[in-house]
Structure 1
């Protein structure tokens, strides 16, 4: 079955071209769009300070990263983990930009943009005009967010894996992961008729307002037309 890797980064800021660096990388293996339990996770010494506003987002300070490996010391392990498979991320352009800036610093080949699968773009196609942050998508799909007090790359990967399953059509009951013939490679086993309970999407006031603003950009939008019977 198809393998892909879902990944996330935390950084010192928003601009890799202006000196911001990666401080955390997490990745999670998927087989057939389902997590196998195999993960990659590392904290990285960015060789620079971490602005207070960035620490408020991810909870990491310069002291937390003292003695951690440099990016160049973990880069090959990350490259080996992701292999040549598709790379899934939320706002993937951001994560690709940071990883490629780090790879460039140590003279390694950048990640190929053709491998990029952006769940933010998938969500915008499915929910145009609505909030599509990871938090918003988790709330929309009823995914527990209680542990997400700050942005943690590994936790965000696990949450995004649940969102990704829903964006791809939802997990089918009766489809599970196991080991084939005692081997190490997880494979999917079909265990009877597949059924799926649809997730009821109930938009909140923020989502309704965002959708109304989006629809308002269109002249004579069908959503605003009078649809009374007989009209």
Structure 2
């Protein structure tokens, strides 16, 4: 039976790679973006699928979007939630209001999607959810230049574990914490960051497709005994 996978934040980067991979594997993919960009529309046309837009930080809008998806006859079997944002938030001098923005985009937005899809999954007795954290959520890899982001990703990992307890045994939920990945964000990397990239055990940045493969696995039957975990995909940066 064809499964339906909603990918929140699928207009670019890791989300786009996950959408392409799932579509190639035969899943019915539902795309989501914050706004209706040309890239999102082109991806939907290319994959022959539906695309929905809403602000993940707006709980009402997220609930309405999931309801619209269901009304299209698509029961959501898996949620891959790649939404989030990173802003400069220097630990000593940064604008602390940005910390709140980081929390809303990296924690509350995923929470809104999880809460929206969880009742349907629970009712059917099965579901898979994966969130996307970051190595910056690790204590030893937290960055004083993006402190709000680091703190938010740490919170997301804790939230993921909490939802795993709340939704077990019907629904599994895990987080993936990527290291440095060659998305459009790579263009903003400082020389310090590029040095970190080169210092991991593999000596290179990851590709979006490599992270997408792990996200896809965690939504598969093969990962049925994994829940409440944060899995690093960082090229061995944490293991140096």
Higher strand share: 1
State the TM bucket, normalised to the shorter chain.
Answer: under 0.3
Higher helix share: 2
Q: Higher Cα Rg: structure 1 or 2?
A: 1
